[in-house]
Structure 1
Amino acid sequence: GPRSVLITADSSAWRRIGPAVRAALTDALRTPGDWLPNAMVPDDRASSDRAIEDIARDVIRTQVGDYVRSHGGRIELVDVCDGVVTVDLGGACRGCRAAHDTLRSGFEGELRRRCRDVVGVRARGD
């Protein structure tokens, strides 16, 4: 997954590198501020929200927003709070069965691809 660590080695190498991998992971878990995305620590959430907001605005302004507008819809950023992005879907999106898929697969998918700090995405009124 996007928040996973993957280490590959041939089976004979694990006896040699296993203890070092275990020690590195143990050290990392003791100091999470050093390995969280963008070295974000809990009291840095406001700056993380601002970064998410900038990326969300760009996603809306470009590919996902273009797609929504091409179908007569509208997507507007309402708020970003503690990593949760709230948007308003309007125009042809209001009441459209595909709006949920566009929000999840299109907007949220692109937002998460570009920013690992995103906790969730919701449409106003959900």
Structure 2
Amino acid sequence: MLTGGVRRFSEVDDAKGSPLAEAIFAIPGLAVSELIVSGNIVTVVKRSAVPWQAVGKAVGSAIRTTLASDAPAVAASPKPASAVSDDALYEQVARVFDEQVNPMVARHGGHVELIDVQDAVVMLRMGGGCQGCGMADVTLRQGIEGMLAQLVPAVRGIVDITDHTSGANPYFQAAKK
């Protein structure tokens, strides 16, 4: 879908020129608050109270229809006007992870691995007690994201690439057939 980067869309105007984002933002009742595309991973965050069961099939259909077309699903990311390079951000974020994030989550048997920083978006993987934990999203959004907003304000977002359904005893179990 997207090679070599991360695209983050926060509003309909950001989606212009990216067929996948345009299609997802156009789904009635979805009310997208954020759409993140990284490689073949698409993350949709909605603000509406409409349950995922009501809009999930439309999201899947939009993805399949867009990918079936010959046009690129996502336009290349415009270069940020930030004076801070991704390498410099990586170093700053790694320091925060080492000194603050990992000691915090280690109290509960977890750890967080910094995978990469692309276009000022942090990609991470949770492990140990954090992988599959029911509170992983709270830790991510209220703990890690809040900490980075204060300590490394140049970071534009976070993408959790953790497979929370795998592991020896994940909180989220796959459906039994």
- What TM-score comes out, normalization by structure 2 length? 0.44
Q: Partner letter of residue 100 of structure 2?
A: Q
- Report how far residue 68 of structure 1 moved: 0.8
Q: Does 1:52 align with 2:93?
A: no
* Identity value in percent: 40
Identify which of 89, 114, 121 aligns with 1:77: 114
Contact 2:131 2:162 in 1 (8 A): no
Identify which of 108, 118, 122 aligns with 2:155: 118
- Distance in 1, matches of 2:151 and 2:132, equals 28
Total equivalences in the alignment: 85
Other structure's SS at 2:153 match:
coil
Where do 4+ consecutive residues of structure 1 move more than 3 Å?
41-45
Q: 1:1-126, aligned counterparts within 5 Å? A: 42=80, 47-125=84-162
- What TM-score comes out, normalization by structure 1 length? 0.60
- Partner residue in 2 for 1:37: none
Unpaired runs of at least 5, structure 1: 1-40
Distance 1:44 1:116, change over 3 A: closer
RMSD value, Cα: 2.1
Decide which structure has greater strand share. 2
- Distance in 2, matches of 1:88 and 1:125, equals 5
Contact 2:124 2:162 in 1 (8 A): no
- Report how far residue 58 of structure 1 moved: 1.2
Other structure's SS at 2:117 match:
strand
Higher Cα Rg, which structure: 1
Q: Which moved more, 1:63-72 or 1:79-88?
A: 63-72
Decide which structure has greater helix share. 1
- Distance in 2, matches of 1:60 and 1:99, equals 16
- Distance in 2, matches of 1:85 and 1:108, equals 10
Deviations 1:10-62 (A, max 9, x none): xxxxxxxxxxxxxxxxxxxxxxxxxxxxxxx84666x5212221121111111
